[in-house]
Amino acid sequence: MVKIFIVMYILCSVYSTNPDITGPTFLQDISEVEANVSLSDAKPEESQPKPDISDAKDHFEELKSLGLYKDDSKDVELNKRNAVIRFQSMCNMTITGEWDEKSQAALTKIVTDKKEISFNDSIAAPPSEEKWFVLNKTKKILTLYYKDKVVKKYPVAIGKASAMTPGGNFSIVSKIVNPGWGGGGYAKPVKGGSPYNPLGYRWMGLSYKDGSSIGIHGNNSPYSIGKEISSGCIRMINSDMEELFINTPIKSIIWIGTENELKDLGVIQPELLQNAEENF
Query: Which of the residues are catalytic?
Result: 217, 233
Is the Cα dihedral 138, 141, 142, 148 positive or negative? negative
105 closest CA partner among 144, 71, 56: 56
Gap between the Cα atoms of 227 and 200, Å rounded: 17
Pair type for strands 122-123 and 168-177:
unpaired
Q: In sequence order, what are the residues at sequence separation of 6 or more whose Cβ sits closer than 8 angstroms to the Cβ of residue 63?
A: 69, 83, 84, 86, 87, 107
Gap between the Cα atoms of 183 and 23, Å rounded: 66
Segment (H or E) for 3: helix 2-15
Gap between the Cα atoms of 47 and 66, Å rounded: 35
Query: 227 near 157, Cβ under 8 Å?
Result: yes
Q: Is 154 exposed, middle or buried (0-12, 13-18, 19+ CB in 10 A)?
A: buried
3-state secondary structure of 143: strand
Angle, helices 24-41/2-15, rounded to nearest 10 degrees: 150
